[in-house]
Amino acid sequence: MTEIAALLEEKAAIPAVKAQLAYLAALQEVSFWEGITLDMLEEMRLRLRGLVVFLDRRKRTLVYTDFEDELLDEGDESAPAMPKMTGAQYEKKVKDYLRTHLDHIVIHRLRANMPLTPTDLEELERTLAAIGAEDGGALLQGMLARSNAPSLAWFVRTLVGMDRAAAQAAFSAFLNDRSLTPQQIRFVETIIDQLTAHGVMEPSALYEPPFTRIDSGGPDALFDGRENVVAGIFETLDAINSGLYGERTSLRVARGKSGGAE
């Protein structure tokens, strides 16, 4: 039920679901299940039966039941097992935590493009694993596997973004270069926009929208004759992304694969 509640939250644009958002959030809390009663289960059934139709068919799970009534001894009443946190529920909690804890020292350093120490990374991993309680370690690893992120630091930066001032500082040499044209400056500012919004950017993105809307030939065509500027842009991206990857292909190789000319 907690997973169904989490999936329904994604349909908040539907008025019927929006009206039950507070209840759906409560369903995902362990405290809700600690004091569960038959009346509460019946209320949950009635509230959710009209909402599950809004779930995507591929996400629905059919449940078949074949129960027989059984008379229990008066003293044979045990509390129902509390559901474990699902991967979807854990991921939602992690994202909520990150968005509301931008002042956390490690998250702040990530946003400011400051280098992280092994201790920083251990602290970040420990903090996020704690959100999943006893299953936190496995839930964290599962979340990272589903995201295809090359590292925990990379994953977190994609959610919290990069501080705009830090991105501007990284590219200040280009922003202050009066020999660049307004169109070329706009190209650099677009890189800053992308880093601010998404935290990370692969070099191949320079050959895709929104950059190709500035010049369809990518940076090589836009900065024709200014190969040193193009090289500087790639080196700056490399420096920004350093520490977020493990072993990786160099930016110059990635650039060549994207179709840009050397």
Using alpha carbons, select from 167, 229, 161, 173 the residue that is nearest to residue 198. Answer: 161
Q: What percent of the chain stands above pLDDT 90?
A: 53
Give the pLDDT band of residue 88 (cuts 50, 70, 90): confident
The SS3 assignment for 70 reads coil
Instruction: Give tens-digit pLDDT for 201-254.
Output: 999 999 999 999 999 999 999 999 999 999 999 999 999 988 786 433 333 333
Q: What integer best gives the mean pLDDT of the chain?
A: 83
Distance CA 168, CA 38 (A): 58
Query: H or E segment at 34?
Result: helix 30-34
* pTM, entire model: 0.67
Q: If pLDDT is split at 50, 70 and 90, which confidence band does 256 have?
A: very low
The per-residue pLDDT for 195 is 97
DSSP single-letter state for residue 212: G
Q: What is the pLDDT of residues 18-65, one digit of tens each?
A: 888 788 877 777 667 776 787 788 788 888 888 888 887 655 555 555
CA–CA distance, 194 with 177 (Å, rounded to integer): 21
Of 73 and 224, which is predicted with more confidence?
224
* Res 259 pLDDT > 80: no
User: What is the rounded CA–CA span in Å between residue 213 and residue 209?
Assistant: 6
